[in-house]
Chain A
């Protein structure tokens, strides 16, 4: 395993998993169990190298699980990785594609942009983050894209917020929009593209436990019907997704996640019950 710090708290891991690398395609994810007592968490693939037999992924150290994962050193071992899971992205020549990625999801977006370019698309890429220090893969995406824009929530770099997308969409016709990032950002993108009838694909990262269709915690309402993100997704028609319901479900275990994180920071992982 090798690791790189891309930005504060944003880490890139490249791990040996030849069987997973052999099958991975853009849009798919893996389930990770850091150690015996850890949670299983889904992470979207940021890359794979079939020759080297590695897969790579980027994560944000927000809770106990990701913080512990971030502490793993070079050559460290993750207890279990399963994948590739979920349906691969539809990659073909759509024409002119708008790709919008936010935060840690800029990493898997890079994989998509590469694939879309290879399939002959014209690609406009927009990346965003809370502050400029958290922007990643700027140079790579700039070089790959026909047009490239940056946005931050606080305006510390590029545009402030995503409202400028409206102007881009007024100026230019797009055949498809692809967005991956925090749920609120994807919701905003969909609100902008929906009146213009631009087909918009969102990549959902619901809470999951097994990630293979067993538990149903990742259920989401799309077009009034219930779907499981893990086996039916993770990509869905963004204009049909019930974002309010999704946002509610993402927050279900926030108090427990905070508790876990605080206790861990106070004194290691065997807290509470001993």
Chain B
């Protein structure tokens, strides 16, 4: 089994991931995907051709040596395989669950040319879970360099920077503004896609690398970046993520029952409103829920609303199915659970009813014109096509803009007109010793691209620190 020769016959089809039944899972917050069994993971791992020139590695933003860990996995050397993963990725249980592998490592997989690509993410998930259940082993760390770095934000980018720099022997303190670390992994992605106990376990691993975590610190207010640089720290990394929710600027957005997706998901995920009144943060869900938008956040919101007891959940998206920015897998999961997608429509106003709560939404139909700056076909309203939908809960998931607090309180930090921070390709900002990465630089993107940016920035920070006397 250990030889590198391709097998004479590769199974064309991937091993399906066992999932909770759609009828059952629509009523609970337990994880939807159940994970491979040992037999399944070995069968899937054996589909890997162990290419001499692997196409998968360049697709991975954190540069995991995929054939190497898959080889160890199929030799049933689980601990070694997990260790191989960990050399490149500090958050494998997270990535194995939420990375869009179909756009990354699996996209160019050779097996994918004749059938399904190897399910790299599912293999990664299996190993990460295997390791976590047995307790993390901390491998050798570099000797202390005596340098200290402040990381702002304990989300995917910040956690990656922290882990990488700690492994290199630097002292790292993460400042997190919320009361729990994890960033979007905690407040954004729902429990049924990414259990919060798993996020906290991966954060615990990073703490075991020697990283110090200070919660409840809003940099820009509690401390500023110049203060951090003047006091204890040799460098700063800003990984504050996407910030303020966007609204559409249409009438009725102030009504009760109209949530930004951020508010809705923070209530449900971070504050566990689904367990109200055991947890104190409430959420109110009506019978007819409308979600505006077509990204992963819209899918997460819709599926959460269903689980909170909505009778009907409808996603309203202004383009067509082909332009949906959400992962195909998530759209499929949502539709399986009974979520309805209404394409080529956009809200014009929300209509209030009793006690200031929303009771209906007026929409207009759209048609697709030529591609716009995003490369997707531009939706154009069709005159006179207005229609009204009854709804008692609206969740607006049309994106977020950068949080302004750090930019406003840091002199000399260059930002774009959208408020995102300007950096070079390695995350260096306009201030010496200050780096940034993730959504605060790119605008809203994925967990893994933020981690990739964190990795690059960590390398650049390490170089900077080793040169600095």
- Report the Cα distance A237→B87, complex, angstroms: 55
Q: Does A57 contact B (CB under 8 A)?
A: no
Please tell me if the beta carbons of A214 and B280 are within 8 angstroms of each other in the complex.
no
Cross-chain pair count, CB within 8 angstroms: 132
- Report the Cα distance A83→B222, complex, angstroms: 6
Please tell me if the beta carbons of A272 and B266 are within 8 angstroms of each other in the complex.
no
Chain A residue at smallest Cβ distance from B262: A215
CB distance from A181 to the nearest CB of B (A): 22
Interface of A is mostly: mixed
- Report the Cα distance A209→B223, complex, angstroms: 21
Chain B residue at smallest Cβ distance from A270: B278
Please tell me if the beta carbons of A19 and B256 are within 8 angstroms of each other in the complex.
no
Give the one of B218, B255, B267 with max A CB within 10 A.
B218
Please tell me if the beta carbons of A209 and B356 are within 8 angstroms of each other in the complex.
no
Q: Does B254 contact A (CB under 8 A)?
A: yes
A209, A245, A257: the one contacting B266 at CB < 8 Å is A209
**Interface 9-mer from B43-51, B124-132, B240-248, B339-347:** B240-248
Q: Does B202 contact A (CB under 8 A)?
A: no
Please tell me if the beta carbons of B278 and A231 are within 8 angstroms of each other in the complex.
no
Q: Does B215 contact A (CB under 8 A)?
A: yes
Chain A residue at smallest Cβ distance from B243: A213
Query: In the complex where A33-B179, A217-B263 touch, is A248 in contact with B256 (Cβ < 8 A)?
Result: yes
Q: Does A219 contact B (CB under 8 A)?
A: yes
**Interface 9-mer from A36-44, A94-102, A116-124, A139-147:** A36-44
Please tell me if the beta carbons of B278 and A84 are within 8 angstroms of each other in the complex.
no
Q: Does B276 contact A (CB under 8 A)?
A: yes
Q: Which of A188-247 contact B (CB under 8 A)?
A: 209-210, 212-217, 219-221, 226, 228, 231, 242, 245
Please tell me if the beta carbons of A226 and B243 are within 8 angstroms of each other in the complex.
no
Please tell me if the beta carbons of A271 and B256 are within 8 angstroms of each other in the complex.
no
CB distance from B435 to the nearest CB of A (A): 22
Q: Which residues of the other chain, B, contact A20 by a CB distance below 8 angstroms?
A: 222
Please tell me if the beta carbons of A19 and B217 are within 8 angstroms of each other in the complex.
yes
Q: Does B104 contact A (CB under 8 A)?
A: no
Please tell me if the beta carbons of B244 and A228 are within 8 angstroms of each other in the complex.
yes
Q: Which residues of the other chain, B, contact A71 by a CB distance below 8 angstroms?
A: none
Q: Which residues of the other chain, A, contact B217 by a CB distance below 8 angstroms?
A: 19, 82
Please tell me if the beta carbons of B254 and A253 are within 8 angstroms of each other in the complex.
no
Please tell me if the beta carbons of A210 and B403 are within 8 angstroms of each other in the complex.
no
Chain A positions 245 through 274: 1 when the CB is less than 8 Å from some CB of chain B, otherwise 0: 100110111001101100100000111111
Chain A residue at smallest Cβ distance from B356: A248
Please tell me if the beta carbons of A260 and B221 are within 8 angstroms of each other in the complex.
no
Q: Does A177 contact B (CB under 8 A)?
A: no
Q: Does B216 contact A (CB under 8 A)?
A: yes
Chain B positions 159 through 175: 1 when the CB is less than 8 Å from some CB of chain A, otherwise 0: 00000000000000000
Total chain B interface residues with beta-carbon distance under 8 A: 42
Chain B residue at smallest Cβ distance from A82: B216
Q: Which residues of the other chain, B, contact A112 by a CB distance below 8 angstroms?
A: none
Total chain A interface residues with beta-carbon distance under 8 A: 49
Q: Which of B213-253 contact A (CB under 8 A)?
A: 215-218, 221-223, 243-245, 247, 249, 253
B243, B254, B271: the one contacting A245 at CB < 8 Å is B254
Q: Does B404 contact A (CB under 8 A)?
A: yes
Query: In the complex where A213-B403, A214-B403, A226-B253 touch, is A253 in contact with B280 (Cβ < 8 A)?
Result: no
Query: In the complex where A209-B281, A210-B266, A263-B277 touch, is A219 in contact with B247 (Cβ < 8 A)?
Result: yes
B177, B215, B247, B278: the one contacting A273 at CB < 8 Å is B278
Query: In the complex where A19-B217, A249-B254, A270-B278 touch, is A212 in contact with B271 (Cβ < 8 A)?
Result: no
Q: Which residues of the other chain, A, contact B218 by a CB distance below 8 angstroms?
A: 82-83, 85, 212
Q: Does B282 contact A (CB under 8 A)?
A: yes
Please tell me if the beta carbons of B282 and A257 are within 8 angstroms of each other in the complex.
yes
Q: Which residues of the other chain, A, contact B179 by a CB distance below 8 angstroms?
A: 33, 40, 79-80, 82
Chain B positions 189 through 227: 1 when the CB is less than 8 Å from some CB of chain A, otherwise 0: 000000000000000000000000001111001110000
CB distance from B17 to the nearest CB of A (A): 30
Chain A residue at smallest Cβ distance from B177: A212
- Report the Cα distance A40→B278, complex, angstroms: 15
Q: Does B317 contact A (CB under 8 A)?
A: no
Q: Which residues of the other chain, A, contact B284 by a CB distance below 8 angstroms?
A: 252-253, 256
- Report the Cα distance A33→B179, complex, angstroms: 8
CB distance from B186 to the nearest CB of A (A): 12
Q: Which of B258-314 contact A (CB under 8 A)?
A: 259-260, 262-263, 266-267, 271-272, 275-282, 284
Q: Does B405 contact A (CB under 8 A)?
A: yes
Q: Does B178 contact A (CB under 8 A)?
A: yes
- Report the Cα distance A20→B216, complex, angstroms: 10
Chain A residue at smallest Cβ distance from B220: A212
Query: In the complex where A65-B280, A215-B245, A216-B263 touch, is A40 in contact with B215 (Cβ < 8 A)?
Result: no
A82, A252, A259: the one contacting B256 at CB < 8 Å is A252
Q: Which residues of the other chain, A, contact B259 by a CB distance below 8 angstroms?
A: 217
Q: Which residues of the other chain, A, contact B276 by a CB distance below 8 angstroms?
A: 256, 260
Apart from A226-B247, A260-B280: 9 A-B pairs, beta carbons within 8 A: A39-B271, A64-B280, A82-B216, A83-B221, A216-B244, A251-B355, A253-B282, A260-B282, A269-B278
Q: List residues of chain A with CB under 8 Å of any chain B CB.
A: 19-20, 23, 33, 37-40, 64-65, 79-85, 209-210, 212-217, 219-221, 226, 228, 231, 242, 245, 248-249, 251-253, 256-257, 259-260, 263, 269-274
Q: Which 6 pairs from chain A and chain B are nearest by CB? A: A256-B282, A248-B356, A80-B179, A215-B263, A216-B260, A216-B245
Please name 29 pairs of A and B residues whose Cβ atoms are closer than 8 Å in the assembled complex, sorted by A. A19-B217, A19-B223, A23-B223, A37-B272, A39-B271, A40-B271, A80-B215, A82-B216, A82-B217, A209-B263, A210-B177, A210-B187, A210-B266, A213-B243, A214-B187, A215-B245, A215-B262, A215-B263, A217-B259, A231-B404, A242-B254, A248-B254, A248-B256, A253-B284, A259-B277, A260-B277, A263-B277, A269-B278, A273-B278
